[in-house]
Amino acid sequence: MESNAGGSTFQADVVVVGAGLSGLVCAAEAYNAGRRVLLLDQEPEASLGGQAHWSFGGLFLVDSPEQRRLGVKDTVELALSDWQGSAAFDRPVDYWARQWAEGYVHFAAGEKRAWLHSLGVRFFPLVQWAERGGYDAQGHGNSVPRFHVVWGTGPGILEPFLAKVAEGVAGGRVRMAFRHRATELVFDAGRVTGVRGDVLAASPAGRGRASSRDVAGSFTASAGAVVVTTGGIGGNHDMVRRQWPGGASPKSMLTGVPASVDGEFQQAVAAAGGRLVNTDRMWHYPEGIHNPDPVWPNHGIRILSGPSPLWLDATGQRLPVPLFPGCDSLGTLRHLGTTGHDHSWFVLNKTIISKEFALSGSEQNPDLTGRDVKLLAKRALPGATGPVQKFLDRGVDFLQASTAQELARRMNALIREDLIDPAGLHETLAARDRQVLSGLGKDTQLNAIREARRFATDRLMRVVPPHPLLAPEHGPLIAVRLSTLTRKSLGGLQTDLAARVLDHAGAPLAGLFAAGEAAGFGGGGMHGYRSLEGTFLGGCLFSGRSAGRSAAAATAS
């Protein structure tokens, strides 16, 4: 690096803008190919790894050894059918997204696991079943369990790429520049040849915490190739609201990602001619709860629930079939948007919360994150896990009562409005319990619970046998207020299969590549409208690897 009156200057073969998972994978691949790499990030070094550090570490795999050991029969054809049914591609701009989707499913069924295994990544043996759908065979949802949790969660998936980049730094071929915020692309004769931006003042902010935007200087970085890996928009509620499909976003939302996930450089690339598509396709969760120990502003956590809690809207009405916990996140979010209220409720009891509640995030799963077998074994003991119990004890969204009528009164008191009829709530629970006691019954949710328990993981650790919610021996009753939690943007910069950013005419912008959430995880939106889960980290891996290799090839001497 050099300094002059115009600010600091850098020179590299490949400049990677954004030091999250896709950026680290990209930098590692370019370094492996012998290139000199500059990795820029606007945050302090404490936040290296970005959102991936906070993730639960779930990866979508197809026909894996873990699936086969559990008796799960999966195929590429079945996974592609599920993906297409969920994505529901319906736009001309989806051409490249379709190509990326097909490539990713083949990757997930092919070399993905072996590649990660060779890097030291290992998996929890009990595969989870996310986004179960509940429509017809060609509709949304995973037909079989595919959610493989990394042993070590998000930090575990980051480890090999952090190590490879550190090796490059030690060898003098990789440079990391933190507190460097890229604001514009540099062009020469129609080709992207670098980026310009601000040097931000040093910040003591810890991982994930909001850092200052005080400007201390400027910089220019020149390179043969620039890769944009700056992530999505979930920390920028103004941008989320502007891009919300139909424009009717919830009045209040929790934030599921750090404030640094602001989407600003993605907009700068679009202003410079990159094609930004499918911005109205987003993946936010309806099961958000307030974090009693927040890290970033308005910090929310997602509940990962088994299928047994009753999901009620703000007025106490059960959600329509098949909008049960864990079945259709986007469908549920859309339905709740028609109710005129920003919140909904889970109603359950102590027996259900003890087995079926988990929380998303590496910090909410210290046993898996810390690879602590003794702590993990405690999940088999009666009672909620430590993190869940903390929310039960301290969470502002959690209420308990011995009767449905008292629970309804407490629900109304929490929101300061009498929306739940106490007698009506009691009858809703009693009607459901009569179906349990019949031994057969017509309740679709109960039948879904029985079906889930056919799968070994659900029977062992995720789904309790159907039982009367009102039975005192299973009490107390619990209500959990749920809010929308911002998380992922599914659209992004349109890229071809070489991860080259395309312009509005569909031609590559020479020298410019993109990966991860900034590129809609590939093609400007390889998920279409819905995710099958476990595909965000995997999309960062797949697109980051492709972008790193392509950028390296583009700068070959």
Return the CATH architecture of domain 9-281+490-554: 3-Layer(bba) Sandwich (3.50)
What is the rounded CA–CA span in Å between residue 248 and residue 342? 11
Q: Where are the beta strands (DSSP E) in 490-541?
A: 492-493, 500-502, 508-514
What is the rounded CA–CA span in Å between residue 529 and residue 94? 11
Kindly report, as residue ranges, where domains of CATH 3.90.700.10 are found in the chain. 292-485
Kindly report, as residue ranges, where domains of CATH 3.50.50.60 are found in the chain. 9-281+490-554
4 pLDDT more than 60: no
Range with the poorest average pLDDT among 90-94, 354-358, 374-378: 374-378
Contact partners, residue 374, CB within 8 Å, separation at least 6: none
Q: What is the dihedral of CA 178, 197, 277, 143, to 10 degrees?
A: 0
How buried is residue 2: exposed, middle or buried, by Cβ count under 10 Å (0-12/13-18/19+)? exposed
3 pLDDT more than 90: no
Binned at pLDDT 50, 70 and 90, residue 5 comes out as very low
Report the run of H or E that residue 344 belongs to, with start and end.
strand 343-349
Q: What pLDDT score does 320 carry? A: 97
**pLDDT tens digits, 25-41:** 999 999 999 999 999 99
Q: How many angstroms separate the Cα of 403 from the Cα of each of 230, 391, 408?
A: 49, 21, 9
Name residue, tokens 């499918």: 278
> What fold, for 292-485?
Flavocytochrome C3; Chain A, domain 1 (3.90.700)
Q: What is the mean pLDDT of residues 270-290?
A: 98
Q: Where are the beta strands (DSSP E) in 352-428?
A: 357-359, 398-401
Name the percent of the chain lying above pLDDT 70.
Answer: 99
Question: What are the tokens at 314?
Answer: 């703000």
What mean pLDDT, rounded, does the chain reach? 96
Q: Which of 114, 120, 119 has the alpha carbon at shortest distance from 61? A: 114
What is the rounded CA–CA span in Å between residue 268 and residue 471? 58
Identify any residues that bridge with 489 across adjacent strands, giving them in sequence order.
282
